[in-house]
């Protein structure tokens, strides 16, 4: 029943509306006003457009119905001046509405219109337009062409074009805006100046894609919307600079294209989750405010401001809490605010080529920092706080003014790259030796002396190994060096290719004072610094396999050295200062070619080396070199280098030649080269003009060169035991010679010129093959000693009888057959000290014994009959009791027994019976209480009389009885020979 009732009610309503429609239609025919309002109509009756009376109506009210559209035929009502269609459901207006040229009032409010047709511009009589309460957003610019419109009702909350700031300003402002917009379509110039706009309407921007000039000056606009970045076609944007806040005037100064680019960057960054900014080469003097604005600053992960004009950073940089990379290269920054070091996400900070003078003090607060680039600045010091930046992997501090590294840098265990090229760094810290994680260390262009250039030329691993060795050398170690307990450090720098000694020792001496050992084997060293002498604890040095040509003199001042090793170098001599090393126990110089001291001396042991060098040390002051029996294989060249040189004794060695360097020393006065391996005397000896004594006995010289005869200062010449076959024929030219010794040679004759040597006082020609003495010898009146022992003389020239100055005259071992009376008579006048002039082959005549006896008693209280081939002791000897004999020499005879009467010679203190054939001694010897020396060696003695034991309590000091056949007493009870 209810449904029927509702349906009935609806039918009645429709009948009522239909009747009203008819009635109003009829009424309109007569009043020119057609009111169809509030009739629920959805469409106009066709009669409106067909009836001749209705076609000319002026007023048409269609409000408060259900119209969704108006029929195109509406354009036939060309007399309409008022059209009300509000409160319907209109979605569009037909284009034909533009035919209503006389329409003055058009009410369209409260519909569903979203657009107005362009044909609305034909409503040239329109004065009032209402479109409020519609979803209309954009008013067509064609409205601006309606010159008579005085009122326009809009819903400002919906309309975006014109913008709300225009819409609420009234009809005049709206139409002005639309008129300018309309002009923009044709001229591409959009002039919004003077419209009191507070912002550029963003919604209208896409509507004008061809506009290339936009004027917004004379408006209170302080910010340009960054959405405008899409207007890339813009060639001009005019605004009031005095009030512009964003973008800043600095951005605008770069030109419109760059400003639009800036807008694009900021616009996109605002949309991005983790924005990245690249403002490199923008000539910025400050970080744009937009970068630091709320909502954006906390999301930025990268900010590149390379090649700008920044001279400072604002504290607001601390707002960049998500920033991972901050690049500030090539600006004018003098310092960084602390806020930079408080950015928790920062992994890379680059401030290359600025004017920083201070390193960021609080760098350690950057808990995530991995890369730090501060090259090309004016930084002078790296603060210790860098050690707290434990996450650092790469640091570039090249081209600054840094002079040193902070302590503890190797604690940065993650650090892989460290670049400090072109600074003022002089050394790498020793602790870098444990910087094993570092893969690149660039120190080029620094005045580095530690490590030295030799090390820096090698790999970085060698650098660190070198520094680590230096570090360890400062650690106290215990060591044993040649049985001595040593406490100190050891510097081990073997195999580092060093050409110079470690510079760290002299320059940082205080760090190495505890060094006790230096091992620098297998390098290329050739010198040592003087400062090494200040290492007072040094006990061991090793420089094997280096390039030393001379052992450094400074080592002589290292007084505690125990071990020195210079094996396999190129040493030729050790300095004399080494002789001062009294503590030296081991010296290794194998693999060198030493001439001072020669290797044969070195092989004899340290004492020989020290003695050798001390000799030179003493000689440097005294001018005297004494090195007999040192097993020298060559003449030590160091002798020639002595500043002062007067006397040289190199006897009993193995020297084969005399170097020219020495022969040029004209200051030498005494030269003893006896018992060496000389084959000749070099011609250069002529230059030794001051030589007074020359001893070359015991060599293999075969001739005396003319150079020797030219030595006018020479006074003594000893050529004993050589291979001379003759003396120079003109040796007599040496009238200045005082002593000539040429025994034990092969000389067959004496030159006649010998007699011209008027200054000669000593002449020894014994043990040669001389057959006769030239009569010119008689001219040698100054001669005091003459020995012709063991020659082939059978006679003597009578002229020798005038040689009364002789004090020693020895002719033993010659086959003399007679004694010239002149010579015998002369011996009566001679003050002979040596009487061995008898040949021993003929029986001793009374005259001979008398001569011997008288000479013995009168001169020396001794009797010498050695080598007389005596088989028995002459009675004449036993009768010398009144002569107070002291010495009795009967060695090298054939005595088989000693008569008991020998005890009558009670004054004897020395008896020499060695080298005979004695089998025993008389018991009377035990009573010779003055006896102090008794020589019985080299006999056949089997038993000694027990009476000799009485002498043990007297003055007997020595009993020589070796090389006998003793049974009593046992040999082991007797004193051993020295």
Low-confidence ranges of the chain (pLDDT < 50): 478-486, 833-858, 978
Closest by CA position to 767, among listed 810, 709, 798: 810
Query: For 864, phi and psi rounded to 5 degrees?
Result: -120, 110
How far apart CA 251 and CA 237 sit, in angstroms, is: 13
pLDDT value for 551: 87
- The dihedral over CA atoms of 757, 762, 767, 769, expressed in degrees to the nearest 10, equals 20
Query: For 97, phi and psi rounded to 5 degrees?
Result: -65, -20
For the stretch 210-261, pLDDT in tens is 888 989 889 888 888 888 888 888 899 888 887 888 888 888 888 989 999 9
Closest by CA position to 440, among listed 467, 422, 423, 464: 464
Q: How many other C-beta atoms are found inside a 10 Å radius of the C-beta of residue 41?
A: 17
User: What is the chain's length?
Assistant: 978
Beta bridge partners of 911: 888, 934
Spatial strand order in the sheet of 394-396:
276-278, 302-304, 325-327, 348-350, 371-373, 394-396, 417-419, 440-442
Residues 6+ apart with CB under 8 A from 137: 114, 158, 159, 160, 161, 203
> What's the chain's Rg over C-alpha atoms?
67
How far apart CA 569 and CA 625 sit, in angstroms, is: 27
Please answer whether residues 571 and 548 qualify as being in contact, where contact means their C-beta atoms are separated by less than 8 angstroms: yes
Beta bridge partners of 625: 648
Alpha-helical runs (H) found in 220-255: 249-252
For the stretch 781-812, pLDDT in tens is 899 999 999 999 988 888 887 887 888 888 88
Q: Is the peptide bond before 582 cis (omega within 30 degrees of 0)?
A: no
Q: Mind listing the domains of the chain with CATH numbers?
A: 4-185 (3.80.10.10), 188-271 (3.80.10.10), 272-471 (3.80.10.10), 724-841 (3.80.10.10), 846-973 (3.80.10.10)
How far apart CA 948 and CA 961 sit, in angstroms, is: 13
Question: Which two tokens mark 119?
Answer: 């044909």
- The dihedral over CA atoms of 763, 766, 770, 774, expressed in degrees to the nearest 10, equals 20
Closest by CA position to 826, among listed 809, 843, 811: 809
Which of helix, strand or coil describes residue 379?
A: coil
How far apart CA 331 and CA 636 sit, in angstroms, is: 72
Which of helix, strand or coil describes residue 71?
A: coil
- The dihedral over CA atoms of 153, 155, 158, 162, expressed in degrees to the nearest 10, equals 40
Please answer whether residues 37 and 62 qualify as being in contact, where contact means their C-beta atoms are separated by less than 8 angstroms: yes
pLDDT value for 356: 94
pLDDT value for 644: 87
Beta strands in 900-957, from DSSP E residues, in sequence order = 910-912, 933-935
Q: How many other C-beta atoms are found inside a 10 Å radius of the C-beta of residue 597?
A: 31
Which of helix, strand or coil describes residue 694?
A: strand
- The dihedral over CA atoms of 477, 478, 480, 486, expressed in degrees to the nearest 10, equals 90
pLDDT value for 845: 40
How far apart CA 411 and CA 413 sit, in angstroms, is: 5
DSSP 249: H
Q: Is 300 left (phi over 0), alpha (psi -120 to 50) or beta?
A: beta
pLDDT value for 482: 45
Give the strand pairing for 484-492 and 477-481.
antiparallel
DSSP string for residues in 870-900: -SS--HHHHTGGGGT--EEE--SS------G
Query: For 624, phi and psi rounded to 5 degrees?
Result: -120, 125
Instruction: Give the angle subtended at the CA of 39 by the CAs of 34 and 42, to the nearest 5°.
Output: 95
Give pTM, 2 decimals: 0.59
Instruction: Give the angle subtended at the CA of 958 by the CAs of 955 and 960, to the nearest 5°.
Output: 145
Long-range contact list for 76-81, CB < 8 A, 24+ apart? Answer: 76/49, 77/48, 77/49, 78/102, 79/32, 79/55, 81/105, 81/125
Helix pair angle (846-855, 821-829), 10° resolution? 20
End-to-end CA distance of the chain: 168
H or E element in which residue 17 lies: helix 2-31
Instruction: Give the angle subtended at the CA of 265 by the CAs of 262 and 269, to the nearest 5°.
Output: 140
- Chain centre to alpha carbon of residue 321: 43
């Amino acid at each position: 029943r209810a449904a029927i009732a509702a349906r009935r009610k609806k039918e009645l309503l429709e009948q009522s509306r239909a009747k009203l429609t008819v009635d109003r239609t009829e009424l309109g025919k007569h009043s020119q006003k057609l009111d169809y309002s509030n009739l629920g109509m959805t469409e106009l009756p066709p009669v409106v457009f067909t009836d001749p009376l209705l076609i000319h109506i002026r007023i048409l009210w269609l409000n408060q119905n259900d119209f969704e559209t108006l029929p195109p035929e509406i354009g036939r009502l060309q007399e309409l001046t008022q059209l009300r269609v509000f409160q319907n459901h209109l979605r569009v207006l037909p284009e034909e509405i533009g035919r209503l040229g006389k329409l003055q009032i058009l009410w369209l409010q409260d519909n569903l219109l979203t657009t107005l047709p362009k044909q609305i511009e034909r409503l040239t009589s329109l004065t009032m337009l209402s479109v409020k309460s519609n979803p209309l957003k954009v008013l067509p610019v064609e409205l601006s062409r309606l010159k008579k419109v005085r009122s326009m009702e809009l819903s400002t909350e919906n309309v975006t074009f014109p913008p709300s700031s225009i819409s609420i300003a009234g009809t005049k402002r709206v139409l002005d805006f639309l008129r300018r917009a309309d002009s923009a379509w044709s001229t591409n110039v959009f002039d919004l100046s003077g419209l009191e706009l507070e912002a550029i309407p963003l919604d209208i921007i896409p509507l004008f894609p061809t506009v290339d000039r936009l004027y917004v000056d004379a408006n209170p606009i302080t910010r340009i919307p960054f959405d405008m970045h899409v207007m890339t076609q813009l060639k001009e944007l005019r605004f009031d600079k005095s009030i512009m806040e964003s973008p800043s005037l600095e951005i605008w100064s770069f030109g419109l294209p760059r400003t639009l680019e800036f807008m694009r960057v900021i616009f996109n960054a605002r949309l991005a989750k983790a924005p990245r900014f690249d403002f490199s080469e923008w000539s910025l003097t400050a970080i744009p405010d937009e970068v630091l604005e709320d909502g954006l600053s906390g999301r930025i992960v990268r900010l590149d401001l390379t090649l700008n004009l920044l001279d400072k950073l604002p504290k607001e940089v601390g707002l960049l809490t998500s920033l991972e990379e901050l690049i500030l290269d090539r600006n004018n920054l003098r310092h960084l605010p602390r806020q930079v070091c408080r950015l928790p996400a920062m992994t890379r900070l680059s401030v290359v080529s600025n004017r920083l003078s201070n390193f960021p003090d609080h760098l350690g607060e950057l808990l995530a920092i991995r890369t730090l680039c501060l090259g090309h600045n004016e930084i002078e010091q790296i603060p210790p706080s860098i050690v707290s930046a434990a996450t650092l992997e790469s640091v570039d501090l090249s081209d600054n003014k840094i002079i040193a590294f902070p302590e503890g840098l190797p604690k940065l265990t993650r650090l892989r790259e460290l670049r400090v090229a072109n600074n003022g760094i002089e050394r790498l810290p020793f602790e870098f030796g444990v910087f094993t994680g570092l893969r690149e260390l660039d120190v080029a262009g620094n005045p580095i002396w530690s490590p030295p250039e030799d090390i820096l030329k090698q790999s970085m691993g060698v650098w660190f190994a070198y520094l680590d060795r230096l570090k360890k050398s400062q650690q106290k170690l215990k060591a044993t060096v040649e049985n001595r307990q040593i406490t100190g450090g050891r510097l081990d720098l073997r195999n580092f290719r060093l050409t110079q000694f470690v510079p760290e020792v002299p320059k940082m001496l205080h760090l190495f004072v505890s060094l006790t050992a230096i091992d620098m084997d297998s390098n290329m060293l050739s010198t040592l610094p003087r400062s090494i002498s200040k290492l007072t604890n040094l006990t061991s040095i090793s420089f094997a396999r280096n390039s030393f040509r001379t052992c450094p003199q400074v080592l002589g001042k290292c007084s505690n050295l125990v071990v020195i090793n210079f094996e396999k170098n190129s040493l030729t001599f050790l300095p004399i200062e080494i002789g001062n090393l009294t503590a030296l126990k081991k010296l290794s110089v194998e693999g060198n070619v030493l001439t001072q001291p020669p290797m044969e001396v070195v092989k004899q042991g340290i004492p020989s080396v020290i003695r050798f060098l001390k000799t030179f040390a003493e000689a440097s002051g005294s001018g005297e070199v004494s090195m007999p029996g040192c097993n020298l294989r060559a003449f030590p060249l160091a002798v020639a280098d002595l500043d002062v040189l007067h006397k040289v004794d190199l006897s009993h060695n193995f020297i084969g030649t005399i170097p020219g360097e020495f022969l040029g020393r004209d200051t030498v006065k005494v030269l003893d080269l006896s018992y060496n391996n000389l084959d000749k005397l070099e011609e250069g000896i002529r230059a030794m003009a001051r030589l007074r004594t020359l001893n070359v006995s015991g060599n293999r010289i075969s001739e005396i060169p003319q150079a020797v005869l030219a030595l006018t200062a020479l006074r003594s010449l000893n050529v004993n035991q050589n291979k001379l076959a003759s003396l120079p024929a003109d040796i007599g030219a040496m009238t200045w010679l005082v002593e000539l010794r040429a025994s034990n040679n092969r000389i067959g004759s004496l030159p006649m010129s010998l007699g011209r040597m008027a200054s000669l006082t000593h002449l020894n020609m014994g043990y040669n093959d001389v057959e006769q003495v030239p009569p010119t010898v008689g001219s040698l009146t100054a001669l005091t000693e003459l020995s012709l022992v063991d020659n082939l003389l059978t006679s003597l020239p009578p002229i020798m009888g005038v040689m009364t100055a002789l004090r020693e005259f020895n002719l033993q071992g010659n086959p003399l057959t007679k004694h010239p009376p002149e010579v015998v008579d002369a011996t009566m006048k001679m003050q002979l000290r040596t009487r061995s002039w008898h040949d021993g082959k003929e029986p001793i005549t009374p005259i001979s014994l008398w001569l011997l006896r008288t000479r013995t008693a009168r001169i020396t209280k001794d009797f010498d009959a050695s080598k007389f081939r005596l088989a028995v002791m002459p009675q004449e000897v036993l009768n010398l009791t009144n002569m107070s004999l002291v010495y009795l020499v009967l060695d090298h005879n054939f005595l088989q027994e000693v008569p008991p009467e020998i005890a009558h010679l009670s004054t004897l203190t020395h008896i020499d019976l060695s080298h005979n054939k004695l089998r025993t001694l008389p018991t009377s010897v035990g009573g010779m209480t003055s006896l102090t020396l008794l020589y019985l060696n080299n006999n056949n003695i089997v038993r000694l009389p027990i009476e000799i034991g009485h002498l043990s309590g007297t003055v007997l000091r020595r009993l020589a009885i070796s090389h006998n056949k003793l049974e009593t007493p046992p040999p082991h009870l007797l004193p051993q020979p020295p």
